[in-house]
Copies of this chain bind each other. A is one copy, B any other.
Amino acid sequence: MLAVVLAAGTGSRMGLTAKATPKGLLKVAGREILYRTLHQLRECGVDSFIIVTNRRFAPAYRDFCRRNRFKCQVIENPHPEKGNGYSLYLAKPYITARFVVVMSDHVYEDAFVKRAVNGTGLIFDRLGVYIRKGEATKVKVEAGRVTAVGKNLPAYDGFDTGFFVLDREVLDVAEELLKTREKLELSELVETAGVPSTQLSGYFWMDVDTPEERKLAKHYLIKLSVKGTGDGWISRLINRKISTRISKYLVDYLTPNQITFLTFLFGIFSALVNFYSIPLAGVLYQISSILDGVDGEIARASTRTSKLGGYIDSVLDRYVDFIFLLVLACAIKPDFFFWIVISFAIFGSVMVSYSTERYKAAFFEDVYKVVPAMKYLLGKRDERIFLTMLMCLFNQVKALFVILAVLSNLRVILTLILVWKTKRAEIVL
């Protein structure tokens, strides 16, 4: 399948930066708007692209496609003032079947694109949760077909998401219309051709016209990048609220792998601080736990997720936890018997992770999805670290080790029991 990107607008409302860079190539949450959209489309099997732009921006778009290895054809529209319906018409010679049309300045979440490519005609959103409804383009639908598109419709059924799945015939209508008029907007074309419509509501999408909207889009992308599974209570209630703010700031400057590495160093540093001050070390450890969410958030928000990154991050986390507990143990100068408790605490802490990861390796599925009770079991990393901070602050390090030794190993035993019960039941079914 093929997609046409309409990118001939001059982006005048974007202010100074946009004079040099076309809107589609502005970065939102660490990635060009267009990169995100083309990447999402490619993941859904749409892998050929036609970008219709003006003369001034064509070289930048050509360079962008080459650099990122997108299969693109960049077409110049010598008369952008003739409207984006005319831009679309210029792509006609390349189109042989059903095709997708997207705007170069719209940002979508992955789930939206995944569903939208399977829709027909104009994709509209009844709710428009994330957009400023006053300024949005509205759509009126009758019997499944678009009857009116515009900013000031007296009555409407939803909002134009800037995403279309069209049949080739629409371009014949455009050709016909352009015989009698100079200018053609896509909205007029869609109205006249009476294209079908598909409702797709509640997902994140927005067009990025102003610097404020660019900020807002980044805000939502980071918020949506929080992966639920595996987060404990502390992550949900505290860590994620702070880490997303940090991510919003860092996403423009650092890659996920750089953050993974820095977070690792910070974690090891927090461990060593135990030699100097245990309460301070505890606080730094909790900060490192918050920072630990940032790499994943940035990776997802900037479409840079990698299994390799996740793998390295997990192994390094285990080392941070181990070194922290070991240095903390040394700092309290334990006797022979207490070293046994410490050993159980250190071992149990890794085993919490081991028992869930080994599950995934065996069953190729997430234990938190299959055994929902696991989500509410205490003892996940964020919870252990928060507890560690509290106990360090209140000078209860010995009690901490006892609790960790019991809690973590108990959690592993409960994991085994829950998995056994769930999987046995599956076999009997």
Contact = CB atoms under 8 A, between A and B. Distances in A.
B412 A363 contact: no
Contact of A354 (B318, B326, B427): B318
Contacts of A424: 308
Looking at chain A's contact residues, the main secondary structure is: helix
A88 to B, nearest CB: 35
Interface residues of A, number: 43
Contacts of A359: 311
Nearest to A314: B358
A315 interface: yes
Contacts of A355: 315
A343 B340 contact: no
A249 interface: no
Interface stretch (A77-85, A130-138, A192-200, A344-352): A344-352
A359 B359 CA distance: 12
Interface string A308-351: 10111011001100100010011001101001101100110011
Given A355-B315, A412-B315, A310 B362 contact: yes
B357 A361 contact: yes
Nearest to A363: B307
A360 B353 CA distance: 14
A46 interface: no
A394 to B, nearest CB: 25
Contacts of A427: 306, 308
Interface in A183-201: none
A241 B262 CA distance: 48
A364 interface: yes
A39 to B, nearest CB: 15
A408 to B, nearest CB: 12
A350 B361 contact: no
Given A350-B351, A357-B357, 6 more contacts: A312-B419, A318-B351, A322-B343, A329-B343, A360-B361, A364-B364
5 contacts: A310-B362, A318-B354, A343-B346, A357-B357, A361-B361
